[in-house]
Amino acid sequence: MKILPHHQENLRRSGLSDATIRASGIYSETDHQKLASLLNRKRYSRKNGPGLVFPYFDQAGAIVLCRIKPDRPPQNANGKAAKYLAPSGSPVRVYIPQSVNGDLAKVERPLLLTEGEKKSLCATQNGFLCVALSGVDCWHARKSSALLPDLEQMRWKGREVYLAFDSDAVENENVRDNERLLAATLGNYGATVKIVRLPAGPGGAKVGLDDYVVAEGADSLRKLIDQAEEPEPPDPDSLKQPAAEMLPEEEAKHLLDATKKDGHPRLRCWRETWWKWTKGRYVELRESDVRAHLVDFLNRRYFKVGRSALSNTLMQLESQALLPSTIEAPSWLATTPGSDWRPAELLICRNLIVHLPSLFGGDKYSVPPTPALFATAALDCDFIGTGTPKPERWLRFLSELWPDDPEAIQSLQLWAGYLLTPDTSQDKLLALIGPKRGGKTTIAKVLAALVGQDNVASPTLGTFASQFGLWGLIGKTLAVIGDARLSGRVDAHTIVERLLSITGRDAIDLDRKFLRPVTTTLPTRIMLVSNELPRLPDASGTIVSRMIVLRLTQSWYGCEDKLLLPALMNELPGVLWWAIDGWRKLQERGGLLQPESGAESIQQLDELASPVGTFVRDCCRVGPEYSETRRDLFDAYVEWCKAGGRTHVLDSAQFGRDLRAILPALRDSQPRVDGERARTYNGVGLKPSWE
């Protein structure tokens, strides 16, 4: 961009080098139509002459507006010369030199806050971290004491901040008032604020930051910073304005802007509930928590914040933070590094988002966590990378549980790998069955710690039959059902139906207290932990086909190792890599593994779930060439139940229903037998030993 000689000379008088001028994008504009366009105006008076253009950049380096310094400034409404012109209708922004963008997040670096673009550039050129206001009162939003969004997004807690306004700040009451208010406001955000007093020039002439650095040098400015004074406390009432003057839509926007990371708000409203992004995932909040945060936010700026102001702002906040209910977690909300990766293949940790296929065969396999990924679950541990020590105690613990059964250990490793990502395509649940103090609960606790306790639900089987029983599974990676038993007072068939829906990735209508029902697919993997096999009635036997059973046979009752669990928890990074290797093996194998040691338990579960199915396997032949009268087949079933000591015997109608669930190809006929019609099943017949 071209710079007119007198403009370049003006910038050089402020101590700016030609390199700084070029890097900042400053240029001269002589086209009056272009100047009008930059100012969002219909015209730009030729009387103003050419203009020196100062582009404003956001923290991502994009130009958001331009301020113009006309050669012949027009008069403003107060009759004073308007030395700088800002675009009409544009919000006030903070001037951030491009060279400081990367350092603004470094809270350990002191920050200089001054007034004017040239002063900021001069300080930055001399090694200071400095941003500028476009005016001493341009640090807050209109009709509000809230910080401008550009300022609110900066990290203030624990940061040293130095206000360095012009030397007339001591005499200029407007400057001092804003100095006090800004210092107090930044102090409320956790900053340590001090005032740099610039000495006046000869004859009391006003001196700006750039004037001082040019005349005295950067080292002299550093000495002034070392001598900076404490700010004067403001009048407490001056920090606030009446809530009646508040603009709810603006306050909601300010709050959301203050939560942004990577340009994305960390607060979202999804399916009528609030979610806040933290540690790599979105965590559900109570509405009371959001209200309390909003009240605190508004109380910093206004007095007499009543129900009406709060409700209106909350309504605006909900609207501006809304995510469509059709979005399922996890989903990418925007195009960002990593957004081309399938969410089902992501390992979401507190410190990184890892694309597992790339981890085992790609160059770039991770990106930093970002609220652009709407995920309700993340591992509660850091991804450390290769070189993590093997989890020796964990591996020894597993070999103690299954000393002669490596297949069972492999099955558990595949399951652990299955828990790492949002992928639920295996359509399986895991059952750990064994004696008390046999290691079941320890395994469950380690896996729960691996995926994160906040991502784990702990329902009972009975709660699956209640109206709101599935509500607690929303957003949960894992549900551990301890002591998986059923009493006679619950609807076991409803429980089985819901287990099948969850493992089968079916959409479920979930009832929620005081909220509208939501239709969703739950991301939850289920682990049953029990001393005995649960009876899950399912005539078709589908529920058993969805189960992986790991059988434990040893017990450490009375000789438990109290230090075992803490030792295993210390190995979580290593356990994570063991589970990642399980994920890799799962992809290579294509499915989970049912070890041979659990085959007998699978058969017993099948018998408990579907006695009629077991009767068909034990006593019947199946095929289109076989037939049997309904009476004879049912009588044989009753005899089979008595012979096996079964006290619960189905009636003929229930028997027929379960039989059709097992043999969907079954047909009916009514042939004549001894001259009478006999209702007959076609497709099944009794074995000779039961005829």
Instruction: Decide if 385 is inside a domain.
Output: no
**Where a domain ends, among 182, 214, 238?**
238
Instruction: Decide if 335 is inside a domain.
Output: yes
3-state class of 567 per DSSP?
A: helix
pLDDT band, residue 489 (cuts 50/70/90): low
pLDDT-above-70 percentage for the chain: 97
One domain for residues 215 and 101: yes
Query: What does the pLDDT look like over 443-482, one tens digit per residue?
Result: 999 999 999 888 898 888 878 878 887 888 888 899 998 8
**Where a domain ends, among 375, 406, 421?**
375
Helix (H) or strand (E) holding 413: helix 406-418
- Is the Cα dihedral 344, 349, 350, 351 positive or negative? negative
Query: What does the pLDDT look like over 400-412, one tens digit per residue?
Result: 999 999 999 999 9
Instruction: Decide if 381 is inside a domain.
Output: no
Instruction: Decide if 383 is inside a domain.
Output: no
Q: Is the pLDDT of residue 488 over 60?
A: no
What is the structure's pLDDT at 41?
Answer: 93
Which has the minimum average pLDDT: 136-145, 416-425, 480-489, 583-592? 480-489
Helix orientation angle between 572-589 and 406-418, rounded to the nearest 10 degrees: 100
Bigger pLDDT: 495 or 12?
Answer: 12
One domain for residues 578 and 443: yes
Could you tell me how many residues make up the chain? Answer: 691
Which has the minimum average pLDDT: 35-44, 111-120, 534-543? 534-543
**What is the Cα–Cα distance from 480 to 473, expressed in whole angstroms?**
11
Instruction: Decide if 295 is inside a domain.
Output: yes
Which has the minimum average pLDDT: 39-43, 354-358, 398-402, 506-510? 506-510
Q: 101 — phi, psi (to 5°)?
A: -55, -45
One domain for residues 671 and 555: no
Tokens at 360, concatenated: 């085992």
One domain for residues 22 and 143: yes
One domain for residues 618 and 592: no
pLDDT band, residue 677 (cuts 50/70/90): confident
**Taking CA 487 as the corner, what is the angle to CA 663 and CA 470, rounded to the nearest 5 degrees?**
80
One domain for residues 117 and 262: no
Query: What does the pLDDT look like over 603-613, one tens digit per residue?
Result: 888 888 888 98
What's the domain count of the chain?
4
**Where a domain ends, among 543, 578, 604?**
604
CB atoms within 10 A of CB 76: 11
Q: Residue 615's domain is classified under what CATH number?
A: 1.10.10.10
Q: Residue 460's domain is classified under what CATH number?
A: 3.40.50.300
Mean of all residue pLDDT scores within the chain: 89
Per-residue DSSP letters for 205-247? ----HHHHHHHH-HHHHHHHHHT-BPPPPPPGGGG-EEGGG--
Domain that holds residue 180: 5-238
Query: What does the pLDDT look like over 30-72, one tens digit per residue?
Result: 999 999 999 999 999 999 999 999 999 887 778 899 999 999 9
Instruction: Decide if 387 is inside a domain.
Output: no
For 347-363, what is the mean pLDDT? 89
Helices (H), 259-340: 287-299, 307-320
pTM: 0.63
Q: Which of 332, 327, 358 is nearest to 343 (CA)?
A: 332
b/e burial code for range 263-283 (CB count within 10 A of at least 16 → b): ebbbbbbbbebbbbbeebbbb
Q: Is the pLDDT of residue 682 over 90?
A: yes
One domain for residues 585 and 525: yes
Match 């399922």 to its residue by tokens: 328
What is the structure's pLDDT at 432?
Answer: 93
For 392-398, what is the mean pLDDT? 94
Q: Which of 84, 26, 32 is nearest to 56 (CA)?
A: 26
One domain for residues 641 and 662: yes
pLDDT band, residue 144 (cuts 50/70/90): low
What is the structure's pLDDT at 490?
Answer: 60
Q: Which of 236, 208, 204 is nearest to 122 (CA)?
A: 208
Question: Is residue 40 within 8 Å of 90, Cβ to Cβ?
Answer: yes
One domain for residues 580 and 640: no
Query: What does the pLDDT look like over 625-661, one tens digit per residue?
Result: 999 999 999 999 999 999 888 877 888 898 998 899 8
One domain for residues 224 and 341: no
One domain for residues 31 and 58: yes
One domain for residues 544 and 625: no
